[in-house]
Structure 1
Amino acid sequence: MGDVWAKWLLTRRDSDGASIRARHASSVEAFRDGVLDRADLRADDVLLDVGCGTGLVGFGALDRLGPGGHVIFSDISADLLDECRRTAAHDERCSFVRAAADDLATVPDASVDVVTTRSVLIYCARKQAAFVEFHRVLRPGGRLSIFEPINRFAVLHRPGDLFGLGRTPVDDLLAKVARQMGAAETLVDFDERDLLTWAAAAGFEAVELDYRAQLDVPAEPFTDWQAVKQTAPNPLAPTYGEAIAAALTRDERERLESYMATTGARCRRTMATAYLRAQKADAPQEG
């Protein structure tokens, strides 16, 4: 697959590592269900899944909709839309639109019942414009349901703490790798309060936000370091292995490898997430 979005979702996110894939699968399925549970789906809804990726939310919605329901898969990546088409296998309840979250011009005004997104706004520079577009395409009474990681939380509480290892004998090396990884501004330029503000400013009502934060929560230790090195934390970042190769000398790489391959250190999870749901106002009653 040619573009960075497809490469990451199809290969660089889990590097074909079974244990990594399993961890991602359980978490992203939970996020999918959280989005769909909050969407208040009805049997004949038309749902627009913005930033559909490989179709996790969209195909999950099809399982919940009736034969009269419809899902519009929307993504900026032509490669990922092709992947969704293959999965859809000519299901007439599916259609496909190439568009960015902040410019859904090919989707008519007031044409869908539900808009969903999962981890899409973090890659969008014009987040307020995306909310305006979500509101525009929804019919009166339509629902918005989104999920976003709040990456600013980890940056605030554990800056540069790669892998949640905390204090280690290789902190100096991990700091160099973290600097090499970098972080796109869009990943960290908002928090849960901004989501509320943008939704209200776009005209949504009945706005609800469910926020969860974890700080230094024990997590699974590394058992597959060689596979982890081949993964990237997001589509805009290098793999950890690429960052290590660029940031460290040969001796430093050997010292890091020795520690990471043999340590039984437990990882700790520091992260925050937010679900937001909202509604477009019903059309005013005539008379």
Structure 2
Amino acid sequence: MTNSSAASARGTRRNKAETPRRRFVRRFTRRHLNLVSLGFLLLVIVSGLLAQWLAPHDPLAQDVVNRRLPPFSPDHLLGTDNLGRDTLSRLLYGSRVAVQAAVISVGIGLGIGLVPALIAGYLGGWWDGVLSRIADTLLSFPPLLLAMAIVGVMGPNLTNAMTAVGIIFAPRFFRVVRSAVLSVREETYIEASRSMGTPTHYILRRHVLPNALSPLIVQISLACGFAILAEASLSFLTLGVTPPEPSWGRMLAEGREAWFYTPWLTVIPAVAIVLTVLACNLMGDGIRDSVGRETRDAG
């Protein structure tokens, strides 16, 4: 046997022994951009969770004597805003709001859209027809306008704003999961489970849902980026986080008032939003490229 044939045989044996999880990790870590995106998102999450200990100053404390200090000023790494509040501290606390926005909106979207998608995709028939028409109706509304309408009725705060965004996410999660379930339900092991009298709820939980997770995880990653952008937009319009609570969107709105004098007050939160949303989108692309159609057998 030649060296190339032996290497090919070893590679074949390794691929057969490789689990789907290890295969995903190998594909994902092969691209440095995926690791950079993951590292940046972890930095944002850790900054938000530990903002209380990492922030050098109280984000709400005003010091009009030292207002509008430029970045790299003594005791203020990123300067101060129009009221003398430390920009770095407000940025760190704003990352907490961004993380909360993503968690709340995606959680609500999954809570509303996941189970109906499983039912519609697996049972089909009139279940599929009715639930799909409801999802199509919600998709026909412009996302931010629908969110603004819901916030206008419920009142402006972070929870209400992200509830509105979560309602927007629900039909998108519905369509992704339903599409995956439609292809999985025709697999042989699903038919074998049905023929053995396996309860429907067990089939959905044990066989159908795990095979629908791959596209769902990609959609969740992209939805997190949109949630952060939506929260910033709503807070910019005073429909999200209420002043004086720090939020990247509120920081943009406040910095806009003195753009010609202190442009860094707008640039700093804008860069944070752009990089975080970009990292979420790159993560979604990386997950999509790294995961294969790893179907689970009936066992």
Q: Which has the larger radius of gyration?
A: 2
TM-score (norm 2): 0.26
TM-score (norm 1): 0.27
More helix by share: 2
More strand by share: 1
